Amino acid sequence: MKFDDYSISPLIKEQLNALGYKKPTDIQFKTISHILNGEDVMAVAQTGTGKTAAFVIPVLHKLIVSKSKIKGVNCLVMVPTRELASQITEVFNTIGKTSKLKILGIFGGTEQAKQINALKKGVDILVATPGRMFDLISQGYIDVTQLKTLILDEADLMLDLGFHKDIVDILKKIPKNRQTLFFTATISKKIKSLAYDVVKNAIRIQVSPKNPVAKNVNHAVAFIKMDDKRFFLENILKEYEELKFIIFARTKVRVERIVAAMDRVMLKSEALHGGVDQSERFAILERFKNGENRVLVTTDLAARGIDIPTVEYVINYDLPNDPENYVHRCGRTGRGNNKGQAISFCSEEERGLLQVIEDYTGESIAHYEIEKDEYLEILRDSEDGSYDWKKLIQESNVEDGKEDVW
């Protein structure tokens, strides 16, 4: 089935064609018709499978053809993070470019004044994080009393971040007679409990194979000493200098150290983490998206909510503590129908984390074998003068009973 076969507005079809989108992904194929029919939907699908467009397309259509005009917000999309709010707003604006619908994303970390001015002019679709949304509701700038559609996206992360009460609170303010769309990447008892509170007689759709890592992503693990990881990152970035990378580290301090290490070997990268000002975070993402910078080093802040189809490579510089984040990190590449690569640097100290990840995915992760000579050559070829790699190689050779002088 193609998008042209759907009974959706020609304005949407024309824009999808202009964007090069011909056929729906699995999750889009299974959800769009139900949403168009006005049914509640609970959808479970991996990151990178096209969940956002699965609700954007039918919601835009319903608003374009609707003849009823209401005061206040017509569709509310609640999301857990600012980056995700920005991303979804952009998708609505892109696919609905010629629709004349008023679409607004609101979130903290930015000035309220512009958001308030936009709200005063009227908004059809509001994409919001809970904190800023409730702040503006309490000030009387947001009216959700006649809401027609409620969408909860990345519901599992919303629960993880402690937004359960916010979800319950918004349910008290909106009409009971509404359409509710519930999207989540993972399913658990907590998620099921929340879903039953939110949706009514929902169509349940699940697109999740046995291994939760997207099938478009070829992922593997390489065993590398903790202190050597920077040299192997340097090696990969120089070998594939035309590709776009997202590098994941465990903490913002680690992120900054990686950026500094790459800077020493003349490799440009940018740091993205919670300590960076919100406006600069958006600017960094924009530079990464348009190719001004091809290497983004980040924490799990960016494990969700970044949909950049041209990311060819993900590197887990540090393994995550939460195995779900391994899946979400890998999902930053291989978006839609594209293919992607992901490799994890695993030190001896991280083998326990690797086991937890393999237990979660249900499969052993392929090992990228590095021969000792290759390992030593990568250390030797590094341009980083801050580390005594010669001594390290000599010590390694002594361990093997060899004598080698550099």
164 and 42 together in one domain = yes
406: in domain: no
CATH of the domain at 119: 3.40.50.300
What pLDDT does residue 24 have? 92
Least trusted range by pLDDT, from 179-183, 237-241, 291-295, 385-389:
385-389
Segment 49-85, tens digit of pLDDT? 788 999 999 999 999 998 777 788 999 999 988 888 9
Band of pLDDT at residue 403, cut at 50, 70 and 90: very low
Report the SS3 class of residue 194.
helix
The packing angle between helices 252-264 and 229-239, to 10°, is 60
What pLDDT does residue 388 have? 60
Whether the pLDDT of residue 400 is over 60: the answer is no
User: Are 95 and 17 within 8 A, CB to CB?
Assistant: no
133 and 51 together in one domain = yes
What pLDDT does residue 360 have? 86
User: Are 106 and 128 within 8 A, CB to CB?
Assistant: yes
What pLDDT does residue 226 have? 95
21 and 141 together in one domain = yes
Least trusted range by pLDDT, from 77-81, 107-111, 167-171, 265-269:
107-111
229: in domain: yes
Separation in Å, CA 12 to CA 17, 21, 277:
9, 11, 35
16 and 102 together in one domain = yes
369 contacts: CB under 8 Å, gap ≥ 6: none
402: in domain: no
For residues 126-155, average pLDDT:
93
CA-based radius of gyration for the chain: 23
Report the SS3 class of residue 340.
strand
71's tokens: 């005061």
Separation in Å, CA 383 to CA 229, 235, 266, 389, 391:
14, 10, 9, 10, 15
State how far the Cα of 350 lies from the Cα of 321, in Å rounded to an integer.
Answer: 9
Length of the chain: 406
Which alpha helices (H) appear in 147-244, and where do they start and end? 155-160, 164-173, 189-198, 229-239
228 and 97 together in one domain = no
User: Are 182 and 154 within 8 A, CB to CB?
Assistant: no
What pLDDT does residue 331 have? 86
State how far the Cα of 313 lies from the Cα of 32, in Å rounded to an integer.
Answer: 30
221 and 194 together in one domain = no
Look at residues 172, 207, 242 and tell me which one is the last residue of a structural domain: 207
DSSP H or E run through 203: strand 203-207
For residues 364-390, average pLDDT:
84
State how far the Cα of 107 lies from the Cα of 130, in Å rounded to an integer.
Answer: 8
Residue in the block written with tokens 């990568």: 378
* Count of structural domains within the chain: 2
403: in domain: no
Report the SS3 class of residue 215.
coil
Q: Euclidean distance between the first and final Cα of the chain, in Å?
A: 63
179 and 109 together in one domain = yes
- For the chain, what is the mean pLDDT? 88
User: Are 156 and 185 within 8 A, CB to CB?
Assistant: yes
283: in domain: yes
DSSP H or E run through 379: helix 372-380
Band of pLDDT at residue 297, cut at 50, 70 and 90: very high
Segment 366-378, tens digit of pLDDT? 999 999 999 999 9
168: in domain: yes
170 and 232 together in one domain = no
State how far the Cα of 62 lies from the Cα of 102, in Å rounded to an integer.
Answer: 14
111 and 250 together in one domain = no
What pLDDT does residue 405 have? 35
Segment 6-20, tens digit of pLDDT? 999 999 999 999 998
**Residue 167 lies in domain:** 3-207
67 and 176 together in one domain = yes
State how far the Cα of 406 lies from the Cα of 401, in Å rounded to an integer.
Answer: 16
Segment 316-363, tens digit of pLDDT? 999 999 888 898 899 889 887 788 999 999 999 999 999 999 998 888
137: in domain: yes
Look at residues 157, 172, 207 and tell me which one is the last residue of a structural domain: 207
User: Are 80 and 127 within 8 A, CB to CB?
Assistant: no
- Paired residues of 184 in beta bridges: 44
Going edge to edge, which strands form the sheet with 340-346? 270-272, 295-298, 245-248, 313-316, 340-346, 217-223, 366-367
212: in domain: no
340's tokens: 């992607």
176 and 264 together in one domain = no
230 and 342 together in one domain = yes
Segment 129-139, tens digit of pLDDT? 998 999 999 99
What pLDDT does residue 348 have? 96
Global pTM reads 0.72
What pLDDT does residue 404 have? 41
For residues 96-102, average pLDDT:
93
Look at residues 207, 232, 262 and tell me which one is the last residue of a structural domain: 207
289's tokens: 């998206």
